[in-house]
Amino acid sequence: MRRRQTTSMPEEERDTTLYLHSPLGRRIPLVALIQALTIAEHHNFRHAAAALGISQSSISQRIKQLESDLGILLFERRPRGIIVTEAGRHFLEQVAIGVDHLAHAVRMAGKIANGRRGRLQIGLHGVFISGALARLLQCFRRQYPDVEIDIADGQRQNVLRQIHENRSDIAFLFGEPRFPGCHSWQLWKERFLVVLPTHHALADKEELNWTDLASKTFLVRHDGVGPQVLEHVIQRFDERGIQACVRRLDVGRDTLMRMVAERYGVTLVPESATAIAIPGIIFRPLNDQAASISVTAVWSPFNQNPPLRDFLTLMRRSNRTEIELPLKSPQEPVFSLPAQRPDQSL
């Protein structure tokens, strides 16, 4: 096999040359393609060299080597300039497209690296996108419009497992979950509301006491916030010497609401659940300051996704004034973070 001849390269270009693999089995330096495009634009070696800030002999040698590697003549040299050959024209049109794609890829990579573009994957377990969480997400979307947000509901253990496996960036759950290797932060508390059928005997009361509910059947889901609701109802009734009547159900939250509307019983829900538009039900607060549940964010400290980094920064510094979105009602929970650092003991 005949050994391919190579031309010397100026020292200042030698260490910064990026090579592209050619179908011909040779490595083609990207700088040679850029120089060829510049020559085609200026129709003159000297003008192209001046535009690139290099010597004319350097660009001439590089193009000769490129033509040798390709086995085609890109330019016809004439005393008053150059003419792009037909083969050269077709080749350089495709090169220009490729260079534009490469430049776009570099720009996009930069945006992804600095968090201006990318994807944020959020897991939810029982938490509603309303109230404080809705305002937080709206604020993030305004600041980072090119970041795609994927939101998925899931069972508690599955949501936490996806965080641990980096298949989800951050999760929002009710309660205070503990999962090895994850960080968590209790963001805010939502008070529990009683859900009643529209024409229930207690519907006229603006606020309810636990004793008002003593004879009522509580419908409680196995999933979602069901375990927390069950614990809360039993504890409050036990404190008052009342036997709780609880019916456990393997249903979704919409079905639970429909069962309340159909007078199967009553239930408790976090305040953000008032965003659910189910006909035939009403919400009433409890005269109990302790009747509330925590909303907690969980994420992995090993997740290096830039949009997650920016989301956590926003989450840490957000408060009611910074979100700058009006509340729907005075009772709606306000997004306000505690002053202490997030729990990193997990």
Residue 200 lies in a domain: yes
Go through 164-175 and write b for each residue having 16 or more CB atoms within 10 A of its CB, e for each that does not: beeebbbbbbbb
pLDDT tens digits for 184-203? Answer: 888 888 999 999 999 999 99
Residue 102 lies in a domain: yes
CB within 8 Å of 37: residues ≥ 6 apart = 92, 95, 96, 99
Residue 119 lies in a domain: no
Cα 257 from Cα 219, distance rounded (Å): 9
Domain that holds residue 274: 189-292
Backbone angles phi, psi at 100, to 5 degrees: -60, -40
Q: How confident is the model at residue 10 (pLDDT cuts 50, 70, 90)?
A: very low
- Which CATH number fits the domain that encloses residue 29? 1.10.10.10
Q: How confident is the model at residue 114 (pLDDT cuts 50, 70, 90)?
A: low
What is the count of structural domains for the chain?
2
* Residue ranges of E strands in the chain: 19-21, 27-29, 75-78, 81-84, 118-125, 147-153, 170-174, 183-197, 217-221, 245-249, 267-270, 281-285, 292-299
pLDDT tens digits for 144-186? Answer: 998 999 999 988 888 888 998 888 999 999 887 677 778 888 8
Residue written as tokens 């700088």? 31
Residue 231 lies in a domain: yes
Residue 336 lies in a domain: no
Tokens matching residue 342? 């997030």
Section 327-337 average pLDDT: 35
Mean pLDDT of the chain: 80
Residue 129 lies in a domain: no
Backbone angles phi, psi at 72, to 5 degrees: -135, 155
In this predicted model, which residue has the larger pLDDT, 68 or 11? 68
pLDDT value at residue 326: 32
pLDDT value at residue 195: 96
pLDDT value at residue 109: 65
Whether 92 and 63 have beta carbons less than 8 Å apart is answered as no
Section 50-74 average pLDDT: 87
Out of 292, 312, 339, a domain closes at 292
Out of 113, 148, 163, a domain closes at 113
Residue 338 lies in a domain: no
